[in-house]
Structure 1
């Protein structure tokens, strides 16, 4: 399956070629916070594959990650793809593994001091949390990527627009589901609608 149907570069999503293409687009401003890399390492530790954990740390060139320090997005991608290839059988495939990575990363973020502040500001109101996301994503994702728009479509639904997001879409689907659950939303549903190769509308709804 291609990550962006109809894109100029049509490569099978999850292939080694697609990974290298995604990495080739990353620049200085494309970053991932250490908390998300640590969350991935925690998943690998729970999985119990010491060799895979060692390989991911070797790829990163780090022994540990500071939670709110910026690391290259390319480092995250080089760690996450092999992890998804190896753990996919636990989560229904490669996409499912990325969805779980995003879910767990979001849980880790909202358990942090910065995440707890955002939860307080949201006051257990999902729409309030979503409305705040366009102004907070740059602090988490770097200057080159972000949510440019949150459009409310109902009392319990909305659409978030991500522009130039090099993180695989299933990861964001899992992260948004976990984010909404953090403020008490139930039966959360997240559906991605590609706009361009790395631009996406995420349709979210809940009860």
Structure 2
């Protein structure tokens, strides 16, 4: 069932937020082409080719290559227009960004590096979350990321100097947890500053079955 469309919220404030994020980026801040392609694919499947053309029009690139690096400022322009195009389809900008984040994860995990990242997790959500900082290092050139464990199936993932809004990474993180069969994963972002966000990641940890004590041997041992 299609989500009910909502008006693009506070367009002026939202556009200003995107603009400030772009101004904070330097030419050394880059992201892989696969994420650009992921945004375009999300728009194509959600809205159609006409919307894809509108997104491409805001970039100077004729095409994107999956593992090439491109300026994150260009990615921000693309994501901003894509979010506006997808907002009516998904009932708001935040959900549109989550959908783009989910596709970003799928695009990354389809690559050779992404498959290796998934292989290292060995189906274990804790290993996967522990390896998230190194996974992001493979994908983008900027930012610092740390994991702080609060308990089993409960962690804070902190991103500093990351340019995308929190909802985008909520989608990224939920999807990557789902890829290893995590039970009921939840991700909640909380802004710490313009480019700093912490993500509270939780999931259901399967109850471990109690182990039976060893049964006494029927055989008597004579010494």
Q: What is the TM-score normalised by the length of structure 1?
A: 0.88
Partners of 1:111 and 1:14 in 2: CA distance: 35
Aligned mate of 1:145, from 143, 146, 150: 143
CA 1:46 to 1:170, structure 2 compared with 1: closer, same or farther past 3 Å?
Answer: same
Q: State the secondary structure of the residue aligned to 1:187.
A: strand
Partners of 1:196 and 1:87 in 2: CA distance: 26
Indicate if the aligned counterparts of 1:159 and 1:201 stay in contact, CA closer than 8 A. yes
Indicate if the aligned counterparts of 1:23 and 1:74 stay in contact, CA closer than 8 A. yes
Task: Note the C-alpha offset of 1:182.
Answer: 1.1
Task: Note the C-alpha offset of 1:14.
Answer: 6.2
Partners of 1:31 and 1:169 in 2: CA distance: 18
Partners of 1:110 and 1:37 in 2: CA distance: 15
Aligned residues: 195
Structure 1 stretches of 4+ moved >6 Å: 11-14
Partners of 2:198 and 2:97 in 1: CA distance: 18
Match of 2:50 in 1: 51
Q: State the secondary structure of the residue aligned to 2:183.
A: coil
Match of 2:70 in 1: 71
> What is the 5 A alignment of 1:150-165?
150-165=147-162
In structure 1, runs of 5+ residues without a counterpart are 1-10
Match of 1:4 in 2: none
Indicate if the aligned counterparts of 1:101 and 1:174 stay in contact, CA closer than 8 A. yes
Larger radius of gyration: 2
Q: What is the TM-score normalised by the length of structure 2?
A: 0.82
Partners of 2:134 and 2:89 in 1: CA distance: 35
Match of 2:193 in 1: 196
Match of 1:33 in 2: 32
CA 1:154 to 1:141, structure 2 compared with 1: closer, same or farther past 3 Å?
Answer: same
Q: State the secondary structure of the residue aligned to 1:139.
A: helix
Indicate if the aligned counterparts of 1:137 and 1:146 stay in contact, CA closer than 8 A. no
Backbone CA RMSD of aligned residues:
1.8
Match of 2:181 in 1: 184
> What is the 5 A alignment of 1:82-121?
82-121=81-120
